[in-house]
Amino acid sequence: MKILGIETTCDETGIALIEFKETKFRILSHKLRSQIKVHSKYGGIVPILAAREHKKNLPILFDSLIREIKIDFKKDIDYFAFSYGPGLPPALVEGKEFVVSLAKKYEKKIIPVNHLIAHFYSVLISKNKIGVWQKIKEIPLPALGLLVSGGHTILAFIEDFRKIKKLGETLDDAIGESLDKGARILGLDYPGGPKLEKLAKKGRPLFNLPHPLINQKNFNFSFAGLKTAFWELVEEIRKYNKLDELKQDLAYSYQKTAFETVIIKTKKAFEKYRPKSIIVTGGVIANQFLRKMFVKVFGTKVYFPVKNLSTDNGINIAFSGYFLLDKAVEYSNLDIDPLADI
């Protein structure tokens, strides 16, 4: 069975083709195009520009994949998988229109994939290597799932990968958004998270900052208060012309506090639900400092995706489609859901 996955929820255009044989699979092709250069001058993602880039990139990536694979799509492809949401409405529309055009042309059904669920499925992929057969990774269940990304911070209980219950989520900024804003406060360019991580590597935890909601019994998150406290601290230091001198320490302290917040909440959920494992996924888990913090606290019970699969891509969508075959629909029944939840 072969499934083509298409990802256009935000600012990454992704297409991937995966072949499955029972509990094994191999990635036949993986195409990804970033839009960082397009959005960086605006300090964040502009939805209309993201949609325009998807419209331009999708046919280019698809044509490249066809030339590389050289297969009969009508004969050899079984399904198309498409990320229907959550995401930016204009970006999702471009993805939908493209996958519908393919479904019409090749007479195939489409598997709608929830972008959030796809992040959890990504941990079942052991390596991102083209053409190499690998087994679907087995992870002890039930598991606690933490999704940390630019748009989401969600804690969930995963009884199995078809039964996921949300325990809590951010009430304001997502952690990735918070890191970008912290970086902006320090004068770093977009995307700020990776630049903040790089700056923090040379810093020290000199400053105490608040850990919002950690004393509440629920499993919700909040990062807006942390951002405000950080802005006030930076402004105070700026008055004494010490910002350049202390910028690395400020970056370290801010990043460490944000990460401690999600770990404290995750630990509370772990103690309550006693899962067999912990899955941590989403773009922010590409941060090596955060990975090390989770391993230090939870040891071998914690599972991460391959680093370059923690961010948005077509592989996660095609891979998830295999587990959601019963959700396949005719192209006329396909819809998007910008506010989709798990």
Q: Are residues 7 and 148 in the same domain?
A: no
The answer to whether the CB of 329 falls within 8 A of the CB of 141 is no
Q: Each residue of 82-106: pLDDT tens digit?
A: 999 999 999 999 999 999 999 999 9
Query: Is the model's pLDDT at 9 over the cut of 90?
Result: yes
- The parent domain of residue 174 ranges over 143-305
Q: Are residues 301 and 314 in the same domain?
A: no
Q: Are residues 168 and 301 in the same domain?
A: yes
Check: pTM over 0.85? Answer yes or no: yes
224: CATH: 3.30.420.40
Report which DSSP code applies to 193: H
Report which DSSP code applies to 170: B
The domain tally of the chain equals 2
Per the structure block, which two tokens stand in for 185?
A: 């406060």
Q: Are residues 74 and 198 in the same domain?
A: no
The answer to whether the CB of 339 falls within 8 A of the CB of 169 is no
Residue 268 CA, distance from chain mean position: 23
> 126: number of CA atoms within 13 Å, CB side?
12
Q: Each residue of 22-43: pLDDT tens digit?
A: 999 999 999 999 998 899 888 8
pLDDT band at 71 (very low <50, low <70, confident <90, very high): confident
Place of tokens 């396949």: 328
Residue 217 CA, distance from chain mean position: 26
